[in-house]
Amino acid sequence: MVNHMYLKLFIILTTVCISVNSLAEQTNIDKVKESILLILPDMEIDLVEQSEIPGMYTVLIGAEVFYVSEDGNYLLRGDLINIPKKLNLSEQKRTVARKNLLDIVPEKDFIHFSPDNPDHTVYVFTDVTCPYCQRLQGDIKDINEKGIAVKYLAFPRQGLDTPVATMMKKIWCSDNREEALLDAMIGLELDDVDCANPVVEQFSLGQALGVRGTPAIFTESGRYLPGYMPPEKLLEMLNEE
């Protein structure tokens, strides 16, 4: 009987401790969210969790990683490195976030250049007026021959209210998007077509992923390979994964 009473008391105390800790944890998370929204009021916070640093929380907005003190008074933006393991913990979180964001893009919204049964797939944010994007597209046959599929997304570098954005909307509205993309890159006029298209959404996605220029290449794992690289180098980078 006594042992039974002690067991009940232990369970009650344990439950109270867990509830108190959970409440304190939620209070800290709320403080962190409030602080972030003070300086980034238009941003949607995707995740707040305890970081590897005691007293600091990891905040994920899109694929951007921030660290905020539990009292909400201090914010750090940068890479958190585990020195003994030589791991970039921030980049690990960014990579997972990028993969998750790219995985939800509907397949029909990409422009595909792919071999049969590719060994690798890359996502490429492109701008048809970008010289290095044109150079990458000039390598597309070699890229495909190396077993790499390319899925293009639109990223008009100068913004959405620009002639290039209008051009890219025409590409995505064309009956043959692949041909229209090639025509635009060599300066040919496109048919004046309009439709519901994903250019705005893809541009916003690129910003959330941290795209600052084109071509911006992402692997299937979410790794970011900024800038043009020759097909041989691209294959080498993909084989490292």
Active-site positions read: 127, 130, 133, 157
- How far is residue 169 from each of residues 94, 161, 181, 187, 215, measured CA to CA in Å? 29, 11, 11, 15, 18
- Around 120, how many Cα atoms within 13 Å sit in the side-chain half-sphere? 24
The token pair that represents 196 in the structure block: 């519901």
- Around 200, how many Cα atoms within 13 Å sit in the side-chain half-sphere? 4
Whether the CB-CB separation of 37 and 43 falls below 8 Å is answered with: yes
Neighbouring residues of 140: CB distance < 8 A, sequence distance ≥ 6: 113, 150
Q: How far apart are CA 94 and CA 145, in angstroms?
A: 30
Q: How far apart are CA 86 and CA 5, in angstroms?
A: 50
Whether the CB-CB separation of 128 and 168 falls below 8 Å is answered with: yes
Computed over its alpha carbons, how large is the radius of gyration of the chain? 24
Beta strands in the chain (DSSP E): 47-50, 56-61, 64-69, 75-76, 81-82, 87-88, 111-113, 120-126, 148-154, 216-219, 224-226
